[in-house]
Amino acid sequence: MKNKKISQSFLKNYNDYKGKKLCGLKFKAQHFDNLEFPTTLPMDLGNYFEYVATGCLPRNGVKPEPKISYVGTKREAMSTPYVRANESAELFKKIKEAYKIEIVDVGLKLESKNKNGILDIWAEMDGRPCIIDLKYSGLIDDKWAETGWDVESLHYKERLLVQAIQYKMLVKENYGLNYDEFDFLFMVFSSKEVHNVKFIRINIDEDAYRVHENHISSIFKQINAMNIEKDFIPYPSINSCSKCPLYSTCEYKSDIPLIEDVYYGG
Ligand code: SF4
């Protein structure tokens, strides 16, 4: 493998793989073989919301359509979560006006020597350049989940914040702006309650960029030295195999729980 660049989702999944929380064959299929994995309802809803809000198509390039309930009956109508997603998209447009956000580009692909990423929104807010990442979340007030958006505990949540660091670095590397000349903001909409929205600016310490660059460059070297066809280790489990698109052909799959050893005392 030569010159595989590291995206923030690649980084998260690779860390999961190294922690044996993600099967290596699944990881390879997703990031090297470009196998399209089935989407979940929250992902479909998020894609639909973002499309209606900004006109940006999801990665697969297919226009998201709302789900219809009671098809073929008198009660046929857009399903309630999609009605809410439409209302959230309208609210996004109102927020955009209120903050004087002028969108320059949506779905903007950026890359540098060892990393890449796709910015939801590259914009100017009241004349200042900014990256805005839209989230459509069922965990907007959650403090404990690693993908929960409780603001007080957010600074502990590396899994969410790594995106801000990666994207600010990509903008600097592509456009030559200094970190203090533009912002990164998450705009988080609740998928359960239209009027629960958070607009969060992430302020990043200079050291965090250095740490991230070291991490990315080490993974970039590891990955590009690997034999991608042979070196990934399968980590089967009854749960992950049951949801895996490779299940029907995989020789490592498991249909029963595997015994895990716990050592105590001594
Ligand atoms: S079926 Fe199981 S072992 Fe095979 S790739 Fe999927 S998760 Fe890994």
pLDDT digits 0-9 by tens, 127-186? 999 999 999 999 999 999 999 999 999 999 999 999 999 999 999 999 999 999 999 999
For the CA of 251, the closest atom of ligand 1 is 4
What pLDDT, in 10s, does the model give residues 100-133? 999 999 999 999 999 999 999 999 999 999 999 9
Full-model pTM = 0.93
Task: List the alpha helices (DSSP H) in 176-255.
Answer: 206-224, 238-242
- 95: pLDDT strictly greater than 70: yes
Cα of 134 vs centre of ligand 1, distance in Å, is: 31
Which atom from ligand 1 is nearest to the alpha carbon of 244?
6
> Which residue puts its alpha carbon closest to atom 2 of ligand 1?
241
- Comparison of pLDDT for 36 and 73, the residue scoring more: 73
What angle, rounded to 10 degrees, do the helices at 206-224 and 8-18 form? 70
Helix (H) or strand (E) holding 18: helix 8-18
Task: Report CA(54)–ligand 1 centroid distance (Å).
Answer: 36
For residue 27, the CA-to-ligand 1 centroid distance in Å is 10
How many Å lie between the centroid of ligand 1 and the Cα of residue 189?
33
What is the pLDDT, as a whole number, of residue 37? 87
Q: How confident is the model at residue 1 (pLDDT cuts 50, 70, 90)?
A: low
| Ligand 1 atom with least separation from CA of 241 | 2
Which pLDDT score is estimated for 34? 86
Name residues contacting ligand 1 (CB within 6 A).
Answer: 23, 25-26, 234, 236, 240-241, 244, 246-247, 250, 252-253
Average pLDDT for 18-33: 96
Q: How many CB atoms within 10 Å of residue 237? A: 16
Residue type, 161: L
Q: Atom 7 (ligand 1): residue with closest C-alpha? A: 241
Q: Which pLDDT score, from 0 to 100, does residue 8 have?
A: 95
pLDDT for residue 206 is more than 90: yes
